[in-house]
């Protein structure tokens, strides 16, 4: 079904750099490279050709590897304008722009709130979206540069995609999010089951991503919030939840 292959390079304490590879050509894009060397090592080990760098937002744990990877490979950097605060950018993108990545088409979405210029890359034909720090499995990003209204509408927009669209997030936060989700919806059996699954996966050291639109509709309290007031209450409760 899907043509491109996606793999995770775990870096720092809980970041994932996603590698999007075209298996026919070896062309590979690195999404949100926090650091350069582990990404370059992985690409060399797998015999891939790193030809593009994509950023979802400007935070240094999503852009810190840009310059090192570009220097080593010549790969151009595609990013929202805000990334220029911390990196050179070869192509600035925003809502509705189309980009070709490893031979496949993606459309850019503006999804501000975690940062003011945060974008997502949606590969409609491949059934996958890269959402950075906007949505996490069973959770959502913090509101550093935007409002609850913006973030709630981002949740609704992503959740309106087809059920089987895979969602690639920037961090391994699923276990902590699952605990909060059960606190938010103690009667939700899907949440209880997923918490158990995710605990086992993390004990085995497995990556819990990507998630899917269907899973998030069933288990993500921020997606399931009935209105922006409920969303805002959950978001502020999560900020201090332990
Ligand atoms: Zn961030």
The Å distance, Cα 223 to ligand 1 centre, comes to 19
Kindly give the distance from the C-alpha atom of residue 189 to the centroid of ligand 1, in angstroms, as a whole number: 30
What confidence score (pLDDT) does residue 2 get?
Answer: 58
CA of 31 to the centre of ligand 1 (A): 13
Question: If you measure from the C-alpha of residue 60 to the centroid of ligand 1, how many angstroms do you get, rounded to a whole number?
Answer: 8
- Residues annotated as binding site for Zn(2+)? 57, 59, 61-62, 114, 133, 171
Instruction: Please identify which residue in the block is written with the tokens 């990545």.
Output: 101
Residues in the chain: 242
137 C-alpha to center of ligand 1: Å? Answer: 15
d(CA 135, CA 143): 11
Ligand 1: distance of its center to the CA of 32 in Å? 10
Q: Name 106's bridge partners.
A: 99
Q: Average pLDDT of each block of 10 consecutive residues along the chain (242 residues)? A: 87 97 95 97 96 98 98 98 98 98 96 98 97 98 97 98 98 97 97 98 97 98 98 95 84
The pLDDT value given to residue 183:
96
Question: What architecture is domain 5-239?
Answer: 4-Layer Sandwich (3.60)
What is the 99 CA–ligand 1 centroid distance (Å)? 22
What residue numbers does the annotated binding site cover? 57, 59, 61-62, 114, 133, 171
- What whole-number distance in Å separates Cα of residue 195 and Cα of residue 201? 10
Q: How confident is the model at residue 113, as a pLDDT?
A: 98
pLDDT of residue 242: 78
- Alpha-carbon span 217 to 206, nearest angstrom: 23
pLDDT, tens only, 83-129: 999 999 999 999 999 999 999 999 999 999 999 999 999 999 999 99
Distance from the alpha carbon of residue 59 to the mean position of ligand 1, in angstroms: 5
What pLDDT was estimated at residue 1? 45
Determine the distance separating the centroid of ligand 1 and the alpha carbon of 62, expressed in angstroms: 7
Question: Tell me: the pLDDT tens digits for 157-169?
Answer: 999 999 999 999 9
């Amino acid at each position: 079904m899907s043509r491109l292959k996606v793999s995770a390079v775990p870096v720092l304490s809980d970041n994932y750099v996603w590698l999007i590879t075209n298996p026919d050509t070896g062309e590979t894009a690195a999404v949100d490279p926090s650091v350069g060397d582990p990404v370059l090592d992985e690409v060399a080990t797998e015999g891939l050709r790193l030809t593009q760098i994509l950023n979802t937002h400007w935070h240094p744990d999503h852009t810190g590897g840009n310059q090192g990877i570009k220097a080593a490979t010549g790969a151009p950097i595609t990013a929202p304008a805000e990334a220029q605060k911390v990196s050179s950018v070869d192509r600035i993108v925003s809502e509705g722009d189309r980009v070709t990545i490893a031979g496949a088409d993606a459309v850019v979405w503006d999804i501000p709130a975690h940062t003011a210029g945060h974008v997502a890359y949606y590969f409609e034909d491949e059934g996958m979206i890269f959402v950075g720090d906007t949505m996490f499995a069973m959770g959502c990003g913090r509101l550093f540069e935007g409002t609850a209204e913006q973030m709630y509408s981002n949740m609704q927009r992503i959740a309106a995609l087809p059920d089987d669209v895979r969602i690639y997030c920037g961090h391994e936060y699923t276990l902590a999010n699952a605990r909060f989700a059960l606190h938010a919806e103690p009667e939700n059996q899907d949440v209880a089951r997923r918490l158990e699954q995710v605990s086992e996966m993390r004990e085995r050291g497995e990556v819990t991503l990507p998630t899917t639109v269907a899973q998030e509709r069933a288990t993500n309290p921020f997606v399931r919030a009935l209105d922006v007031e409920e969303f805002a209450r959950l978001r502020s409760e999560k900020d201090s939840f332990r």
